[in-house]
Structure 1
């Protein structure tokens, strides 16, 4: 069969088949990208249409974080404690930096809610917490896993781990934190300095299975192109074998001189 596959005609057909396979594989990858982009777009649009709800209406202190609350817009009214923490090893728009996380004592529950106020490129740029009663809004997130990397610098944390924060901030603690997006009264530019808000992650975007099925369809077509080439070579081998068999079966006196 190898001898037949190496015939110029079959090599030419193989080249055409490989070009078709490459095109179909790329079309399949494009459809997968469409599936992911559509899911992300729908997730972001859904998040934008949701109005913030009071934190105490969806979550209680010390309760395990429900997965369906991830990225849910919430609001919380209270006063900030001065013991804010710096979380090392964070990135924003490709830049290395730090997160500024402060304890908000929620007025209704009296429990502390960790609030990710923003990102700074240096710990020295972290602005002081606002004074008085404030209302913060932002996306809700579960606490991060315990930090297992190299020890961060003195006075900094490696993750927003509520099992660590509960020993640092007295009283009850929400088993969650908020990606702060807004604040009332609105702070002045001088009050926030160079700190930048950290966008709420999009969370679980799901998957657009229709486009994924289209991707699979293109890849099946790619395999079918290779199968057709193989069948062409196989047919040529079988035809050659039949011709050889007929030559052996034909009487010698009937064979062409």
Structure 2
């Protein structure tokens, strides 16, 4: 019996340690998103970043993330890609990414132009997007490259992709892509191009992490309570009843 009791104690302590650790991890995820949102809000208040000041290396790029800017250049429509399995307002679809060749520099920036819904009957059928020729001015904020999702197969090379690696995309297209992307925002008075730009805020789902943390901590407490009841209180009560 002593050996069995030790096994139960060790299993309970291990379960409590795991669930407590998972609860702490969820709290850290919430804190990270809140800090990211705060950084976004603070940098959004800074003066617009001039196009000529956009970073050319990864370290400098991190300091510019979320800064607002206007880019002037020409769309490289032939290099447009559709990032699959991206949601906006709970609907599945694609993020549309098109390189913008910056005027007078020979360099380009990958622009996250917006979101389009997926065709419910044929997921390979892509919408025709109005992409004006000639010089355009695109408003938005500097951001890291599009977030990566898990992909089961090798990286695709067609217009529909799961992820986009800027280095590989630069080699593929022959464009000198800078190590940032631009998240396009709606400009007042601009003509509609059919793209949705209700970009999610980093901390929009922070309450989800608090909820998960509560569940893990509650499970930890439940394990402790069950151990105390079945291993300590209940045997003691039975022993007292046997002596009565």
Q: Is it true that 1:142 corresponds to 2:145 in the alignment?
A: yes
- The offset of 1:129, in angstroms, is 3.4
8 A contact 2:50–2:69 mirrored in 1: yes
Deviations 1:27-65 (A, max 9, x none): x98x998886676456435423322534654620xx346
RMSD of the TM alignment (CA)? 4.8
Residues paired across the two proteins, number = 209
Work out the CA distance in 2 between the residues paired with 1:215 and 1:156.
38
CA, structure 1 residues 201+163, in 2 after alignment: closer, same or farther (shift >3 Å)? farther
Match of 1:180 in 2: 184
Q: Is it true that 1:91 corresponds to 2:95 in the alignment?
A: no
Moved more, 81-90 or 212-221: 212-221
Q: What's the TM-score, normalizing by structure 1?
A: 0.57
Match of 1:101 in 2: 97
Match of 2:112 in 1: 116
Work out the CA distance in 2 between the residues paired with 1:97 and 1:214.
32
Match of 2:225 in 1: 225
8 A contact 2:96–2:114 mirrored in 1: yes
Match of 1:72 in 2: 66
Segments of 5+ residues of structure 1 without an aligned counterpart are 2-24, 245-257
CA, structure 1 residues 103+65, in 2 after alignment: closer, same or farther (shift >3 Å)? farther
8 A contact 1:100–1:120 mirrored in 2: yes
- The offset of 1:82, in angstroms, is 3.4
State the SS of the aligned residue for 1:149. Answer: coil
State the SS of the aligned residue for 1:50. Answer: helix
Deviations 1:162-195 (A, max 9, x none): 2342134434211232221245x85212xx1x22
Work out the CA distance in 1 between the residues paired with 2:217 and 2:81.
49
8 A contact 1:119–1:196 mirrored in 2: yes
